[in-house]
Amino acid sequence: MIEYLILYLYTSLFIIFAIAVYGVVVKPNIIKKIIALSIAGDTANTLIIFLGYRLIEYPKPPVLPTLNPSRGEINSFVKEAVDPIPQALVITAIVINLAVVAFLVFLSIQLYKLYGTLDHRKILVRRGVGSEA
Amino acid sequence: MEKLLIYTLLLTLFVGGIVVAVSFNVFGGSPSGIIRSLALFYLENMYNVYAKTFWAASPEAVNAILWDYRGLDTIYETTVLYTALIGCLAIATGLEKKFRPKEPGLTIIVKAGTRIVVAIVILVSLVLAFRGYITPGGGFQGGVAFAIAPLLLIAAYSWRRLEELGFRLDKAVLLRSLGLAAIALIALAPYMLGGYILQNQFKPWIVFAGAPYTIWVFYIGGTLLFLNISEFFVVSMEFLMIFILLSIIYVGGEK
């Protein structure tokens, strides 16, 4: 059962990632490219968190529930808690992803000011580089 | 069109191959009952009150890693955030701004709902930031949660209302800079006192006595509380700046 669930999660994550890659490559609108890019980033973050999961019956979050733990509590916590390193990685990755998306949005506003459109084919035409396909 | 079909098929095959490879654990690292030894080290030592050599004085593993064990990484990530924001500001100065008159906003139902939700969001973000060293949360999480409040206010009222409430651009820049200065100060203070940069607790092989982890009856986890608060101000004010700038830039219609 649990193997089936893991396979299901991997499959759905990679399908979402493929859709995001498709959006970045194929969609002509730059805003849609940015949306697809942020979906790709979120998929990668989910995958990283999932890799830190601990495959035991009742895993615990990596937070000690007491300020005065006994030795036994610390030992059982070490045996049951999930991996905290991916979570620490991902929380900064999310914030930086947001900041980068904001930067891309400002860049696309500037593009819109300059060319009056966000379609990258039309931008090429208006620059005099490409031709209207 | 045929080209697109070929691309799609190739992508599907690629994804299918990766799924099969990962689920049969070709790359390694798929979840199992045993976690990495580094994670075991963190889990065992972060709040080990019986052997304090490597402890971080925080019962929350993510915060202990973020601000104690891997503190320099977090500083550099804050730098990346800062640089992205400087880029946004640099682009925004060249764009035309349009200060619209006060707008009526959405209906009274939406406004009443927004008032309640904004109050709850701000409260939750403060709790996340100020208790991040004990319970799940921290400066980054609290800051991102806080960023929702101005966004909701802009959507339901207008940015004028935001300005009336005191969320102003110059204030946000000031608070952001104060937060960054506080992080730098807390990072460098142990170095001035004879320890390592960003050192939190006492280590037997260096002079620095370690930050106090309790003040009176309150447990503060050494420098973690102050780093979390500073990071909260940095992240929340940077996103407030982004949202205010996005709402006052004049874009115009399609040419």
Task: Report pLDDT digits (tens) over B234-250.
Answer: 999 999 999 888 888 77
Q: Give the helix/strand (H/E) hosting B253.
A: none
Q: Is residue B59 part of a domain?
A: no
How many A×B Cβ pairs under 8 Å? 162
Q: How confident is the model at residue B175 (pLDDT cuts 50, 70, 90)?
A: very high
Tokens of A132: 């209207």
Report the pLDDT value the prediction gives residue A32, as an integer from 0 to 100. Answer: 94
CB B246 to CB A110 under 8 A?
no
Q: Contact B11/A22, CB-based, under 8 Å?
A: yes
DSSP string, B90-155: HHHHTS-B--PPPP--S-HHHHHHHHHHHHHHHHHHHHHHHTTTTSS--HHHHHHHHTHHHHHHHH
**The pLDDT of residue B27:** 65
| Domains (range + CATH), chain A | 2-61+81-127 (1.10.287.3510)
Identify whether B217 is part of a domain: yes
SS3 (DSSP) at B59 = coil
pLDDT surpasses 90 at B149: yes
B12 found inside a domain:
no
Cβ count within 10 A of residue B216: 5
What is residue B103's predicted lDDT score, i.e. its pLDDT? 73
Test A77 with B11 for CB contact under 8 angstroms. Answer: no
Contact criterion met (CB < 8 Å) for B30 and A74: no
Q: Is B163 domain-assigned? A: yes
How many structural domains comprise chain B? 1
Indicate whether A56 pLDDT > 70. Answer: yes
d(CA A81, CA A125): 56
Chain A residue numbers with beta carbons less than 8 Å from the beta carbon of B62 are 62, 84, 87-88, 91
What is the Cα Rg of chain A in Å?
Answer: 22
Which chain B positions have a beta carbon within 8 Å of A88's beta carbon? 61-62, 65-66, 70
Interface test with A, best of B88, B89, B239 (most A CBs within 10 A): B88
B47 inside domain:
no
Q: Judge whether B3 lies within some domain.
A: no
Q: Residue B177 is part of which domain span?
A: 71-248
Q: Are B211 and B56 in contact (CB under 8 A)?
A: no
B7 in a structural domain:
no
Q: How confident is the model at residue A1 (pLDDT cuts 50, 70, 90)?
A: confident
Q: Greater confidence, B254 or A92? A: A92
Helix, strand or coil, per DSSP, at residue A125: helix
Mean local confidence (pLDDT), A95-115? 89
Contact B44 A51 (CB under 8 A): no
pLDDT at position B252 is 64
Q: Cβ of B11 under 8 Å from any chain A Cβ?
A: yes
- Whether residue B42 lies within 8 A of chain A, CB to CB, comes out as yes
| Residue B194, both tokens | 């004879």
Among A79-83, A107-111, B153-157, B248-252, the least confident range: B248-252
Q: Mean pLDDT in chain B?
A: 86
Residue B17 is predicted with a pLDDT of 81
3-class SS at A63? strand
Tell if the CB–CB gap between B31 and A54 is shorter than 8 Å.
yes
Dig out the tokens for B26 from the structure: 């070709």
Q: Which residues of A touch B12 (CB under 8 A)?
A: 18
**Rounded to whole angstroms, how far apart are CA atoms B194 and A1?**
55
Which long-range contacts does B110-118 make (Cβ < 8 Å, 24+ apart)?
B110/B156, B111/B156, B111/B157, B113/B156, B114/B152, B114/B153, B114/B155, B114/B156, B114/B157, B117/B152, B118/B149, B118/B152, B118/B153
Provide the H-helix boundaries in chain B: 2-23, 37-45, 61-64, 71-93, 108-130, 139-146, 148-156, 159-164, 169-192, 224-248
In a domain, B28, yes or no: no
Beta bridge partners of B219: B214
Query: Looking at chain B from residue 208 to 237, which residues have their Cβ under 8 Å from any Cβ of chain A?
Result: 219, 235
Contacts of B217 (CB under 8 A, 6+ apart): none
Residue B75 in contact with partner chain A when CB distance is under 8 A: no
A82: DSSP letter: P
**Residue numbers of B between 115 and 144 with CB closer than 8 Å to A:** 134-136, 138, 140-141, 143-144
pTM: 0.88
> pLDDT confidence of B29, banded at 50, 70, 90?
low
Query: Are A14 and B20 spatial neighbours (Cβ–Cβ below 8 Å)?
Result: no
Q: Which residue of A has its CA nearest to B24?
A: A7
